Amino acid sequence: MIQKIDHLGIAVRSLDEAVQYYEQVLGLKCSGKEEVPSQKVKIAFFQVGAVRLELLAPTSSDSTVAQFLEKHGEGVHHVAFSTDNINEQLSKAKDAGCRLIHEIPIQGAGGRQAAFLHPKSTHGVLTEFCSVEIEQKDNV
Ligand code: ZN
């Protein structure tokens, strides 16, 4: 079952410049940075209440985020829902006729599992399912 909107992914050209905007203009604090080799991106995180912003900058020109930037420019890249059962969520989407980008979850940011649905079958929004955060699981 989907638990909540976990994060919004925002594609940016320069992580440093974007972080500066979020910190200096919006007054938010960057809560961490990480490189995710499987996605060829560098990520900066901002926790804003229950939702996190993930600024994504490509580390390679063949990164899907680089392709997104070329096509659409900077902007909202994906919406991520955390779910207690990512595989069940994927098979439900598949049964409903959605095109899956990942049939099997990949290793996403923070070592969490993640899988994407193609925007062509989700009314234009690249949709991510991610596993519930590890800290949260431990607290249960
Ligand atoms: Zn994401």
Q: How far, in Å, from the CA of 116 to the mean position of ligand 1?
A: 9
Number of domains in the chain: 1
- Please state, in angstroms and rounded to a whole number, the distance separating the CA atoms of residues 35 and 120: 27
Q: Per the domain annotation, does 112 fall within a domain?
A: yes
Burial of 78 from C-beta contacts in 10 A (0-12 / 13-18 / 19+): buried
Query: 62 lies in which domain range?
Result: 2-131
pLDDT band at 75 (very low <50, low <70, confident <90, very high): very high
Q: How far, in Å, from the CA of 77 to the mean position of ligand 1?
A: 9
In this predicted structure, the answer to whether residue 8 has a pLDDT above a threshold of 70 is: yes
Q: How far, in Å, from the CA of 37 to the mean position of ligand 1?
A: 14
- Please state, for a pLDDT cut of 90, what percent of the chain lies above it: 86
The three-class DSSP label of residue 70 is helix
Q: Is the pTM of this model over 0.95?
A: no
Q: Per the domain annotation, does 83 fall within a domain?
A: yes
Q: Per the domain annotation, does 140 fall within a domain?
A: no
Q: What is the pLDDT of residues 17-31, one digit of tens each?
A: 999 999 999 999 999
